[in-house]
Amino acid sequence: MNESWVRSTVRDIPLYYNPKVKAVRMDTSVNVLGPNTVVRDVLTRCMDLDLNQYPAPYSDELRGALADMYGLAADNFVVGNGSDEVLDTALKTFMEPGETVVAPYPSYVLHGFFVKVNGGRFVNVDLRPGFQLDPDALLEARGKIIILCTPNNPTANCFDHRDVERVVQEHDGPVIVDEAYGEFAKDSFMSRVEEFDNLIVTRTFSKAYGLAGFRVGYMASNLKMADTMQRVKIPYSLDRVSEMAAIAALTNTEYVDAAVRLVREERDRLSSGLAALGFRPFPSESNFIMFRSPRPSKELVKRLADKGVLIRDFGHLRMLEDCVRTTIGTRELNDMLLSKLKEVTEEW
Ligand SMILES: Cc1ncc(COP(=O)(O)O)c(C=O)c1O
């Protein structure tokens, strides 16, 4: 292959995080209760589907179920193959190649990836101390689109509601609020999508709903924006089995409630345990915690992985020097994590 064949904007894109170690995965912030309890029944029922047929191109049934849940219309929603797909669709819809998308830093790494693969310019604005938004700087950066996630990944905190609201109100262009961890937080912009002509809120079935392996996500916005984005989304991108699983998961409120309750119960206990071992946990409003290690984080992650537990290293990033992120586990998982961390610190 000749290097010059490759589109110039994607030449330096690395492969995504893809660890090969065999370990307990506390690095992906998924639901630690195991797969959603509807899965077995869904997989049995889907044997009767005529899977030689295509799914509905825009997953109308799932959009209807989401509409019922949020008190919006089905046409306020676009669903796709993970919230990653709908984020990509939103950017494809509104960003011309070469245009600028502004995002806070540090935040979800794939936001920049989607901008780049679609030929845009990704501009970062540093978060303020406490990992809070700098609305003035975000607005002054004069991007076409602003994208942010709250709770923020990997820092785990929510941004101040008034700061996000101000960005939505004052930015003359689409604002994407990624609420992948929204179920674990108290704050959401989902109910306000009809209020603004520029607000897009994305959510996922990969976290609180325990369906990461199925890949289902969605976004909501006012009808005009949603209709425009629907026409850009790849038709049929969500398969029938995943759509069925997502619809069933929406009715299984007990499972989601149990996950949220577990996180709320375990969050403080895990934080205190980390602090007692000499780490510095940051406040979390999500199902994961970021903490700073007094020793090199890369070494910490490696030593822990050798003991069979994988957490994620962010220590190579500016502002997150020697920081790592762990999913908040069940009581047993958290105890196991703390005891392995204790062993590592003692060996140090
Ligand atoms: C902030 C954020 N947005 C979006 C996603 C992607 O979620 P999905 O599995 O729905 O593609 C993630 C996944 O980790 C995330 O952390």
The total domain count for the chain is 2
Amino acid at 334: N
In a domain, 2, yes or no: no
- Tokens representing 239 are 């398969």
CATH number, domain of 306, equals 3.90.1150.10
88 close to ligand 1 (CB < 6 Angstrom):
no
Tell me how far the alpha carbon of residue 111 lies from the centroid of ligand 1, in angstroms: 10
82 close to ligand 1 (CB < 6 Angstrom):
yes
Say whether both 258 and 300 belong to one domain.
Answer: yes
Atom of ligand 1 nearest to the CA of 85: 11
Structure confidence by residue, pLDDT tens digits, 166-178:
999 999 999 999 9
Tell me how far the alpha carbon of residue 276 lies from the centroid of ligand 1, in angstroms: 31
Say whether both 108 and 25 belong to one domain.
Answer: no
Domain C-terminal end among 228, 251, 274 = 251
Structure confidence by residue, pLDDT tens digits, 50-96:
999 999 999 999 999 999 999 999 999 999 999 999 999 999 999 99
In a domain, 29, yes or no: yes
217 close to ligand 1 (CB < 6 Angstrom):
yes
Tell me how far the alpha carbon of residue 87 lies from the centroid of ligand 1, in angstroms: 9
Mutational pocket test of ligand 1: of 25, 153, 157, the residue with most ligand atoms within 8 Å of the beta carbon: 153
Least confident of 19-23, 99-103, 281-285, 290-294: 19-23
Domain C-terminal end among 222, 251, 280 = 251
Domain C-terminal end among 211, 230, 251 = 251
Say whether both 224 and 338 belong to one domain.
Answer: no
Structure confidence by residue, pLDDT tens digits, 25-51:
999 999 999 999 999 999 999 999 999
Asked whether the predicted pLDDT for residue 21 surpasses 90, the reply is: no
Least confident of 3-12, 266-275, 296-305: 3-12
Q: 6: helix, coil or strand?
A: coil
Question: What dihedral do alpha carbons 294, 298, 300, 302 form, nearest 10°?
Answer: -170
CATH number, domain of 200, equals 3.40.640.10
**Atom 7 (ligand 1) nearest CA:** 83
Structure confidence by residue, pLDDT tens digits, 190-216:
999 999 999 999 999 999 999 999 999
Q: 70: helix, coil or strand?
A: helix
Say whether both 76 and 156 belong to one domain.
Answer: yes
- Do 149 and 189 form a contact (C-beta atoms < 8 A)? no
Tell me how far the alpha carbon of residue 88 lies from the centroid of ligand 1, in angstroms: 12
Mean pLDDT of the residues in the chain: 97
Residue among 231, 204, 208 nearest 218 (CA): 204
What count of residues does the chain have?
A: 348
309 close to ligand 1 (CB < 6 Angstrom):
no
Distance CA 182, CA 200 (A): 14
89 close to ligand 1 (CB < 6 Angstrom):
no
In a domain, 5, yes or no: no
Say whether both 244 and 315 belong to one domain.
Answer: no
Mutational pocket test of ligand 1: of 81, 178, 209, the residue with most ligand atoms within 8 Å of the beta carbon: 178
Say whether both 215 and 264 belong to one domain.
Answer: no
Atom of ligand 1 nearest to the CA of 149: 1
- Tokens representing 59 are 């997953």
206 close to ligand 1 (CB < 6 Angstrom):
yes
Host domain of residue 91? 39-251
Task: Quote the pTM value.
Answer: 0.97
Mutational pocket test of ligand 1: of 18, 29, 83, the residue with most ligand atoms within 8 Å of the beta carbon: 83
- Do 306 and 300 form a contact (C-beta atoms < 8 A)? no
Tell me how far the alpha carbon of residue 109 lies from the centroid of ligand 1, in angstroms: 10
Say whether both 88 and 224 belong to one domain.
Answer: yes
In a domain, 94, yes or no: yes
> What is 265-292 written as a DSSP string?
HHHHHHHHHHHHTT-EEPP-SSSEEEEE
Q: Please tell me the predicted confidence (pLDDT) of residue 55.
A: 97
Q: Please tell me the predicted confidence (pLDDT) of residue 91.
A: 98
Say whether both 73 and 20 belong to one domain.
Answer: no
Q: Please tell me the predicted confidence (pLDDT) of residue 39.
A: 97
Say whether both 25 and 133 belong to one domain.
Answer: no
Average pLDDT over residues 128-141: 98
108 close to ligand 1 (CB < 6 Angstrom):
yes
- Do 104 and 134 form a contact (C-beta atoms < 8 A)? yes
